[in-house]
Amino acid sequence: MKYILTFLFSLATLTMSGQGIKAGTARKCITPPLPFWLTGYAFRDKPSTEVLQDLWTKTVVFEDRPGKRVAIVTCDLLGLSHEICEDVAQEVYAKYGIPREKLLLTSSHTHSGPVVWPCLSTIFNFSSSDLQAVAKYNQDLKDHIVEAIGMAINDLEPVVITSGHGTAGFAINRRMQTDKGMVIGLNEGGPVDHDVPVILVKRKDGKLKAVLFSYACHNTTLSSYAINGDYCGFAQIDIEKANPGVTAMFIAGCGADQNPNPRGTVEDAEQHGKSLAGAVNGIISSNSLRPVNPPIRTDFTTTTLDFMPFKPEVYREELLSTDIYRQRRAELMLEAYNKGYDATKYPYCIQTIRFNRDLTILGMSGEVVVDYSIKLKKMYRKENLMVAGYCSEVQCYIPSKRIIEEGGYEPESSMIYYAYPGPFKTDVEEKILTAVQKSMKRTGVRPSAKN
């Protein structure tokens, strides 16, 4: 019986592969109107009045059977809010019939992009007109994403998909242990993931239609007031210049504790972009690409992460602090507490998109540290795997057990700016890995090794 089922599965796969796969691409400009407030750094005290690069939302839609579609969306933004993700998902399903598990929303995490309200709201003290502007941008952003998906559906055509892996070495672990505790610096011996997964989508005539690529590193080369996509913005531009007519899409990896090195100047961002684009272009011209076939299987799952026990006295003390960010966080925490809201739990979502047995994209929400990427690539070492962070909503950092125990910015003080109680309990890693395994299993992926 086992052999009969295996034969039938293989036959179904061959039949599906024979039908081929279609893909369509589209983009919409999401550069905000000027002047506009940027997000990512608390020190900014005025809105931006300059555009170094336009920002984009880009979409690729895959169709492996008539009407059965998967949409992958990239945005040159710090992150999307829960509200925007929900609104986009509902409208995309209503208009195009694409359910939530077949819609992957990602952000590049550029720190030189516009405010997406209410993400990181504690770092701002907006006037009424400022708030109206960011609210209008949110609405326009949602409309642009939905419209781009529709445009990509209208662009569907038969394609051939392949994949490969390159490397780029400019990401460095930023967590440094000092006498004063864990600080942000340059930890040359710390864990990194220099893998550059690449997905190529070619038309039947062999011309390149789309390139999806990933890298695990913060987009924090620049900290000016000029709107730009940081190193990944330069990388996308370089790839598109080298391959006319292509849509280059960056998917951020698990780079929450990784910084580009060096950083600080436009020249640094350009150089990192060239480095990353060079790795991608090397894969484009490679002769050792892996074919990627249908069918496409997807899964969307959620789990609940727990914060440490809620202590209202902590926030009563923060209200008396001279630190305005702690004050603002305390206001929100005590308001939730007094209204009876549960501020001790955090809903966390994970997505899996698997193309036959050839390629798997694992999408993790939030600012995910590199430990997860390293561990999952070991756990699924036989799988052609792209592990993405900053998917769906980007509401806070997602630390590993090791990082929670070490302390520092990612597990602790970052929660002030994200307006969460924090830190998480140390079982967060176990809960996430359990949820990942469930999601992967539903698309047919099994762990390759025990850890």
Instruction: Give residue-wise pLDDT tens across range 115-131.
Output: 999 999 999 999 999 99
pLDDT at 422: 82
Which amino acid type is present at position 131?
L
Look up residue 394 and give its DSSP letter.
-
How many distinct structural domains can be found in the chain?
A: 2
% of the chain surpassing 70 pLDDT? 95
Q: Where are the alpha helices (DSSP H) in 207-341?
A: 230-242, 266-284, 312-319, 324-338
Residue 434 lies in a domain: no
Average pLDDT, integer, range 165-192: 97
**Does residue 253 have a pLDDT over 50?**
yes
pLDDT at 345: 94
Q: Report d(CA 91, CA 105) in Å as an integer.
A: 14
Single out the residue of 78, 20, 86 nearest to residue 44, CA to CA.
78
Look up residue 32 and give its DSSP letter.
P
CB atoms within 10 A of CB 263: 18
pLDDT at 19: 54
Residues 6+ apart with CB under 8 A from 306: 344, 345, 346, 424, 425, 427, 428
135 plus 78 within the same structural domain: yes
328 plus 366 within the same structural domain: no
Collapsed DSSP state (helix, strand, coil) of residue 181? strand
Residue 248 lies in a domain: yes
Q: Which helix (H) or strand (E) segment is 71 a member of?
A: strand 68-75
139 plus 256 within the same structural domain: yes
Lowest mean pLDDT among 13-22, 48-57, 273-282: 13-22
Residue 429 lies in a domain: no
Which domain, by its residues, includes 318? 310-343
Residue 9 lies in a domain: no
332 plus 392 within the same structural domain: no
121 plus 207 within the same structural domain: yes
Q: Which bin fits 399, alpha (ψ -120 to 50), beta or left (φ > 0)?
A: beta
181 plus 93 within the same structural domain: yes
> Residues 380, 382, 386, 391: is their CA dihedral positive or negative?
negative
pLDDT bracket for residue 450 (50, 70, 90): low
Q: Which two tokens stand for residue 390?
A: 């900053």
Q: Report d(CA 219, CA 231) in Å as an integer.
A: 6
Residue 47 lies in a domain: yes
334 plus 268 within the same structural domain: no
Could you tell me the CA-to-CA distances from 136 to 112, 119, 130, 323 in Å, in that order? 19, 15, 10, 30
Q: Report d(CA 72, CA 12) in Å as an integer.
A: 25
Q: Report d(CA 418, CA 422) in Å as an integer.
A: 10
Q: How far apart are the first and last CA of the chain?
A: 32
**Does residue 396 have a pLDDT over 90?**
yes
Beta strands in 99-180 (DSSP E): 103-107, 113-114, 157-167, 171-178
Give, to the nearest 10 degrees, the angle between helix 128-154 and helix 82-96. Answer: 30
pLDDT bracket for residue 3 (50, 70, 90): very low
pLDDT at 9: 44
Could you tell me the CA-to-CA distances from 95 to 68, 91, 140, 149, 282 in Å, in that order? 14, 6, 17, 10, 38
The per-residue pLDDT of the chain, averaged, comes to 94
Q: Report d(CA 49, CA 46) in Å as an integer.
A: 9
pLDDT tens digits for range 350-373: 999 999 999 999 999 999 999 999
365 plus 297 within the same structural domain: yes
Burial class (CB in 10 A: 0-12, 13-18, 19+), 342: exposed
Q: Report d(CA 73, CA 236) in Å as an integer.
A: 15
25 plus 97 within the same structural domain: yes
Average pLDDT, integer, range 381-392: 97
Residue 436 lies in a domain: no
Q: Pairing between strand 195-203 and 226-227?
A: unpaired
Backbone angles phi, psi at 418, to 5 degrees: -85, -5
329 plus 230 within the same structural domain: no
Q: Which two tokens stand for residue 183?
A: 């600080």
Residue 15 lies in a domain: no
143 plus 259 within the same structural domain: yes
Collapsed DSSP state (helix, strand, coil) of residue 46? coil
Average pLDDT, integer, range 35-60: 97
pTM, rounded to two decimals: 0.94
Collapsed DSSP state (helix, strand, coil) of residue 249? strand
pLDDT bracket for residue 449 (50, 70, 90): low
Look up residue 409 and give its DSSP letter.
I
pLDDT tens digits for range 130-154: 999 999 999 999 999 999 999 999 9
Residue 449 lies in a domain: no
Q: Which two tokens stand for residue 252?
A: 């951020």
270 plus 314 within the same structural domain: no
**Does residue 8 have a pLDDT over 60?**
no
